[in-house]
Structure 1
Amino acid sequence: MISHASGGGPCSVRARPWPVARAGQRRPAASHVCARTPDQVVLNCACAYAVDQSMHAVDIADQLSRLPAQPTAALLVLRVVEDPDASPAELGRIVAMDPALSVRVMRLANAPHNGPGSVVHSAERAVYQLGFTTVKAIAAAAASTLLADDVRLGPPSYWIHSIAVASGAAVASDVLGIAENEAFSAGLLHDIGSAVLHRSDPARYDDMVAGVSPGQLGRAERELFGTTHPETGARALELWHFPPPLVEAIRDHHEPVSSASPLTQAVILGEALAERVEPLHLAEGSPRLGETVAALGLAPAHERMLVERTRSEIDKIAAFLGVVR
């Protein structure tokens, strides 16, 4: 399936077209196919297919590169782009609050042609590494696409949940001894695989979520798509050379907290805090806060403090974005 092009550069791999399955036919066994991404702003090329043996293939990287920004973030980005006095810090703050925008800038910042020592763990850092002009172009393109096409990123609850978990993970970072901005990025992107699977077949994914029992989402995803949202999200970020700890946190955020890495623990605790503060009762289920706090060896007093700080952080972000909750 794969042929190598000469000349190197950001995209030095080409592929023959992926065969289209007709009615009644099965797709080939799982394989990885590289192709140039349609996102013309992003120079890095890294694509793969996660193949459902009985249904259809999900082009992970292509779907992820097409994810739209949310309306509020898109409008704020365009406002910053048009402001001659806007700062990189201001743009970085907005980008860091939107999963699709964060993926775009972190993907480019972690591209192989930027060098082996350029691992970027947060959207804010990516803004500084890439430069204000480059990030403005990426963000403006993503925002303009959203406003022109009126498209949305996954189910309506996705963005709210992502912001809430990011806030909880950032708060948890303090007691877990890890960097706050890295925890926020991991929390924001923890369910990016759900958005990819949803975008591949929105109606089917919505029907699946509507009919699944709490805590059974992973099993339903595997039956329908041949993969799960943690696997899908981790595979996409791995292909785009995101930092291994972040990839691990995305992949393992539904695993037991006691054996998880510190960054993964922040996401798991962040999800438990988010469900306490902003309960959405999602089909994937959420870890119980009390059990999670106990498993991490934290005192009951920590639980109350973490809840209040998470609520405060979510309120601040909602006010900044002008979101009515």
Structure 2
Amino acid sequence: MRPVDRLFQKLPQLPTIPAIVQELISSLGRDDVDLADLIAKVRQDQSLSARVLRLANSPYYGGRKTVGGIDDAVAMIGLNSLRSIVIASGVTGAIARVEGIDLARFWKHSQLTAQTARALAKLAGINPEYAYAAGLMHRIGQLLINLSFPEIGQQVAKNCRNLSVGELAALERLNLSFNHAEVSAELARQWHFPLEIQDALLHYIKPDAEGATPYAGVVHLAASLAFGIEQDLPDEVILSRVNHAIVRTLGLEEVDWLVELVKMREAAGAGSEQYS
């Protein structure tokens, strides 16, 4: 038995996601989705419908008239934004409460990382929807650690406030023989996420590890940038923390990072409205 299997054996209950989320996950990277069927399923879910309509009517899309129907809203925001809303709703709703963790703050960071990962993936020429999903789930393993081993999870959280994500993972491994990245990747496997997303979750802490794909590097950079944006740090401070070796590996040396950071800050403001 792998060490990480102990966690899943101790879980009170494996988190689940709705069937519509599973369908959209399997469709990531494809455009041959039955949109009429998808819209019908969204319409049946009041919470999802409200989110879709809120996004379509937000300043982010700059609409001059109110959009009142799901069909018009989907036409306004597009398939990829619809996927993001549905997947974000399913993933964030899979775990209702975790002792010792502010879930609203946790998911706010995860969603900002996801949006940033999508933007970086577009620049790097890889699938932005895979990157979004991986960014959204990159620390979900921490929640499962706290559910299965609450005392250890809370103690690690208390001791890691000023640690890097690599140091956090090392502390988890010292106490548990596995880290949150391994847990996240295993949950993604059990939820039947694509292999690219599983790999990104497993390797995002150390994206230069053998076998890691570009998605791991994208999520690593996105998490770093998201932390800086959340803390409203000056641009030069945020950029000083960027791992330039990963930037080179992804072929992003020529990117005007100041320009992109401005866009990411703007998207962060829109995102709080989009996915709240």
In the superposition, the TM-score normalised over structure 2's length comes to: 0.63
Are 1:271 and 2:223 matched, yes or no?
yes
Structure-2 change in CA distance of 1:306 and 1:153 (3 Å): farther
Letter in 2 for 1:275: F
Cα shift readout 1:213-253 (whole Å, capped 9, x = no counterpart)? 51321122123333211111112222333211111111000
Which residue pairs with 1:239 in the alignment? 190
Tell me the equivalent position of 1:95.
Answer: 86
SS of the residue 2:15 aligns to: helix
The 8 Å contact of residues 88 and 136 in structure 2, kept in 1 or not, is answered as: yes
Counterpart position of 2:59: none
Residue number in structure 2 paired with 1:21: none
Q: CA–CA distance in 2 between the matches of 1:241 and 1:302?
A: 36
Structure 2 vs 1, CA of residues 253 and 315 (structure 1 numbering), >3 Å: closer, same or farther? Answer: same
Unaligned runs of 5+ in 2: 19-44, 53-67, 234-239
Aligned pair partner of 2:253 in 288, 291, 299: 299
The answer on 1:51 being equivalent to 2:22 is no
Q: Once the two structures are superposed, what CA deviation does each residue of 1:23-62 show, in whole Å capped at 9, x if it has no partner?
A: xxxxxxx369xxxxxxxxxxxxxxxx7227xxx95439x4
Q: How do 1:1-325 and structure 2 match up within 5 A?
A: 30=1, 50-51=5-6, 58-59=10-11, 62-65=13-16, 76-77=47-48, 79=50, 85-87=69-71, 92-98=83-89, 101-102=90-91, 146=96, 151=97, 155-156=101-102, 157-212=105-160, 214-215=163-164, 216-257=167-208, 260-279=212-231, 288-289=241-242, 291=244, 292-294=246-248, 296-299=250-253, 301-322=255-276
- AA at the equivalent of 2:85: I
Percent of aligned pairs with the same amino acid: 22
Cα drift, residue 177 of structure 1: 0.4
Rounded Cα–Cα distance in structure 2 between residues aligned with 1:268 and 1:78: 32
Structure with higher Rg: it is 1
- The number of equivalent residue pairs is 217
Higher relative contact order (CA 8 A, sep 6+): 2
Q: Partners in 1 of 2:169 and 2:258 — Cα distance?
A: 30
**Aligned 8 A contact 1:257 1:268 in 2:** no
CA displacement at 1:152 relative to structure 2: 5.2
Q: Which residues of structure 1 form unaligned runs of 5+?
A: 1-29, 33-48, 68-73, 104-141, 282-286
Deviations 1:252-294 (A, max 9, x none): 001134863122222122112212212499xxxxx93152435
Q: What is the root-mean-square deviation of aligned Cα atoms in Å?
A: 3.9
> 1:301 Cα shift?
4.6
**Normalized against structure 1, the TM-score is what?**
0.55
Q: Does the 8 A contact of 2:17 with 2:91 survive in 1?
A: no
In structure 2, the CA distance between the partners of 1:31 and 1:174, relative to structure 1 (3 Å rule), is closer
User: Which protein has the bigger helix share?
Assistant: 2
Amino acid at match of 2:120: A
